[in-house]
Amino acid sequence: MRLHFATLALPLIVSAARLSAADPWTIPPEGCHAATSAEDVEPQTLREGQMLHGTDRRRLRHLVPKAFLDAGDVFFHEEMRLEIGPCYRDYSAPAFFTDATRRFRNRAVLREDGGLEGHVAGLPFSPKDIHPEDSTAGLRWAWNAVRRYAAGGSFEEYRILQLSNGRRGVRHHRGRRFVVQLAHRADRIEGDPPPRADRFEWVAGGEHLHPSPSRGMRWLQFRRRGADPDEWDKYHQYEPELRRVTTGTFYLEIPSVHHIGVRPHGFRPGGYTWRVLGTPDVLAPINARGPLYPEAEDRVFGPWGLSLASDRWDVRRALVLEARPKPGRVLPSNASGTEVRIVRVLDLQTLRDLYYVSYDSDGAPVLLIQWIGRWSEDRRDYPGWPDDPTRPVRHIDHVGAMMWHRANDDGHRWETWNTVSVPPPDSEVLELLSVGRLSRGR
């Protein structure tokens, strides 16, 4: 197995040799293949089923971002038991999605403002058409990440824990949340499109169940189809204390603790300048084994409450993108007002986010996020598509995230183990998107 993450230290920079290859976006065949890392004389071999303990943290320096290793015992700790999972397992999208990428190849066009036009379904830009030396390569990959295969969205029951100073001051939030993917659905190319797909890219919504001050609050967020990079989303929220729905606009992208989760689906690529930093091999819990909330309410997550280092982590080929805000903009996670750039580590095959790090002007990490995934095909109870239960789903669901704000020394743990990406029937989707539903029964 080729280890290349040593060069993904702070700041994240990866050897250009990988990007100058004839096919820089190649994903290795399944299986762990022994090789030497970039800095070691002796070969390092990882094998599926191998366990790494606290004394083995040094071996991770080639495989996870340096900022996470430097965070003390927040993400990795002495009692950890990290199991090496499959190497380069095939988590590819269903054939109908990859067929759509080929069918509509060269339809998508980048606008001068960084927006996107002409995308029908599948990935907007076929990886075969993205040259690493192209100045727009990073922006093209960013749009691919936004329009990656997402099945029909996500539907979940969540718990968010606010943690500070090593788990002291824990506060719980619980609720239900959904994101309905409407436009560019590769499974709906033929026949009728999803409801309101002519108007909206997606709609997110949910309801707070706990704690008491926000119990009963419901919301809907609408992303207009073809929205400009600076366009705010329409937002409706039912306020239990006022007993009415308020309407406004919303520009939240990532991370959002209460409204749309710590998900990257809201990113607007046109607001940033993008650069491809490399394609290293990484370790990540893209298909975790141990259950989270609501199936497991009392699982231990290390001394800080933000570690998944006692679980199964796959070896993956990653895509590393750097984003810097254009003039007049700030980073979406810029709560401290100091962040000037972000680095997103994506799984190259699925384009799911694995790691996120924001940096200040001195190059110090500010906000760190690690995502947890779960493979639909490993779940016996996974529902089928409402219009065709035999159609494959093949989706990595985001079922959790660990978020740590280094400057404030606080964090959030988001858990939603039983998330599914298959949407309900169209009649139920229409009900979900109804603004009148927010106050119904209240």
pTM for the predicted model, two decimal places: 0.91
pLDDT at 255 over 50: no
Q: Per residue in 54-88, pLDDT tens? A: 988 888 988 999 999 999 899 999 999 999 999 99
Distance CA 284, CA 324 (A): 25
Q: What's the whole-number mean pLDDT along residues 332-359?
A: 85
Distance CA 307, CA 372 (A): 11
Which of 142-146, 266-270, 360-364 shows the lowest per-residue confidence on average (mean pLDDT)? 266-270
pLDDT at 323 over 80: yes
Query: How much is the pLDDT for 211?
Result: 83
Q: Do strands 109-110 and 312-325 pair parallel, antiparallel, or not at all (unpaired)?
A: unpaired
Query: How much is the pLDDT for 336?
Result: 56
Query: How much is the pLDDT for 167?
Result: 60
Q: Per residue in 192-243, pLDDT tens? A: 999 999 999 999 999 999 887 778 899 999 999 988 888 888 999 998 888 8
Secondary structure letter of residue 277 according to DSSP: E
Q: Give residues with Cβ within 8 angstroms of 249, minimum separation 6.
A: 232, 233, 234, 235
Distance CA 55, CA 241 (A): 52
pLDDT at 34 over 80: no
Q: What's the whole-number mean pLDDT along residues 309-333?
A: 87
